[in-house]
Amino acid sequence: MTDLLVKNAYVIDPLSGIRGEIMDIAIRDGKIVEDTGSGAPVIDAGGCLTFPGGIDSHSHVCGTKVNFGRYMSPEDMRAGRTARKGVMRVTSGYSVPTTFGNSYRYSTMGYTTVLEGAMAPLEARHTHEEFTATPHQDMLANTLFDGNWAIMEAVRDKDVKRAAAIVAWTLDAVKGFAIKLTNPGGTEAWGWGKDVHSVRDEVPYFGVTPAEIIETMIRANELLNLPHSVHIHCNNLGVPGNYQTTLDTIDLAPDLNRNRQSLYLTHVQFHSYGGSTWRDISSKSEDIARAVNSRPQVAIDMGQIMFGRTTTMTADGPMEWKLYMLHHNKWSNHDVELETGSGIIPVYYGRKSLVNCVMWAIGLELALLINDPWQCMLATDNPNGAPFVKYPEIIALLMSSRYRDIERSAIDPRTEHYVPLFAIDRELDWYDIAVMTRAAQAKALGIERIGKGHLAEGAEADIAIYPLKPDELDPAADYQQVMAGFAKTRYTIKRGRVVARNGEVVVEGANSTIWSRADVPPEYDLNRDAEFVKKFEQYYTVRMRNYPVQDIYLPRGYFISTEASL
């Protein structure tokens, strides 16, 4: 047995209802237990802020598009270089680091679980290879269905059960975790040089609309009883006036699940723009927040941008083309047969750009205007809005209106005429931050059931101890300390082992890959479906028998099993 005792921790654990108590945490064999043996090693937290391990519910860190982002920006790979030190390997990259660079940086910030925001099923093997090379975080993969031909045929035929069967087969085959829709229908349209601009536009050659895809997939998801809801990147990302499309999408979400949302909208900052051109772009965060506040069946993440250089990457091919036309920077598009696509372009967000300043304000506004932090998670759509290493700075901005006012003086002075940010005096507290970076993610992803995101007895012993003493500092005034404290834990504990201490990784990692498997009745097993098999063999460039990801790609795979209601 491997025991560890954390003493004198200032614990905030929202899923367990703990709002700030000095307490001890006993660990045995990687789990939280009631007590340890008398000889257990002891870590004295000394009254420091202690959270469950951080969970990033939307990030782009592994897979073919991420790897191509590394190829495209050799200048980025020359940044962020670290030498080999102890168990830490050589790393490089700033906005798109190597997999070990990502893992070490997440660990030093106290993050222990990461969801890759978009995995193309056909290219899943590469994603899983990079998961294995991200040693300290348990990994999950949103699986793209936005332009899946078989899904769109099921939508056209109004056959929700067949759509569910396709999802079940695909997630099992590629070891994916959840349904991801990126610009539903739009990326398939882009393969024909077109796009969709509202949820009611028709996808060329398929006779379906984004609204029909979204509605069908929400109901298919619930038939499969999957742990996470449908995870959506709305149509019209990054286009002035697109807030109406976002509102229309929110209106499509029924209230179908007692335990979590029915629809998770990601990087909503990019979908909250008013105006008709880049010249009159404005914030519509108030309208979006009002819609979210009135619908508990919806959850979002911020998609905060931060000033500086980064790399954008998404399965939304037409959006990246629009960015190319704005920036005229190097650009790439990629099509994944019968499934989805992607695009990549490096960008720079500047304090002297009015458009960028409005975007920066909108993300913060969403977090401050949405009443319930359980409905708004902290994320940057890493690396699209900013690299995740900016999270401590975002936390400080949310906790300190004084810090926001200081930033106000450094950005384009016209910004305040287009955004409500500087009229908002709300300041989030430690509990809100714990919700937005841990508890809300665990609940939204449905992984609290396997011991993620909390410190109750039986939970995974994933713990972050920060060099911050809530009883001794005021985050509104001491925002610099808040930034520094959240950037580097005193201890990050992963499954009962100290993996990082004072900003240095101290042990080799051994993560797990978490995926979903829905058990369906034999009549919905697509391996036995002659029509599905025939079309697969006719249109894909790989044999159906070669498509599934073998177990060897998941040396520490763990699946959440559900029983489909078909």
Q: Encoding tokens for residue 291? A: 């819609």
Quick one: DSSP state of residue 550? P
Q: What's the pLDDT tens digit per position in 143-153?
A: 999 999 999 99
Residue 465 CA, chain-centre distance (Å), reads 22
Q: What confidence tens digit (pLDDT) does each residue in 58-80 have?
A: 999 999 889 888 888 888 877 87
Task: Output the DSSP codes for 183-226.
Answer: STTHHHHHTTT----STTSPBTTTTB-HHHHHHHHHHHHHHHT-
pLDDT one-digit tens code per residue, 392-445: 999 999 999 999 999 999 999 999 999 999 999 999 999 999 999 999 999 999
Q: Is residue 565 part of a domain?
A: no
Is 492 within a domain? no
Residue 114: Cβ-neighbour burial (10 angstroms; 0-12, 13-18, 19+): buried
Inside any domain, residue 357: yes
Question: How many other C-beta atoms can be found within 10 angstroms of the C-beta atom of residue 285?
Answer: 28
Per-residue CA distances from 476 to 333, 350, 422, 427, 430 (Å): 43, 25, 15, 7, 11
Total domains, the chain: 1
CATH number of the domain where residue 75 is located: 3.20.20.140
The answer to whether 120 touches 144, Cβ cutoff 8 Å, is yes
pTM here is 0.97
Whether residue 176 is contained in a domain is answered as yes
What does the pLDDT average to over 475-488?
98
Per residue in 543-560, pLDDT (tens digit) is 999 999 999 999 999 999
Q: Which domain holds residue 440?
A: 53-449
| Residue 323's pLDDT band (cuts 50, 70, 90) | confident
Is position 433 within any domain?
A: yes
In a domain, 398, yes or no: yes
Asked if omega into 413 is within 30° of 0 (cis), the reply is: no
**Alpha-carbon distance 545 to 289, whole Å?**
46
Q: Is 219 domain-assigned?
A: yes
Residue 300, pLDDT above cutoff 90: yes
Question: Does the structure show a pLDDT above 70 at 1?
Answer: no
Establish if 493 belongs to a structural domain.
no
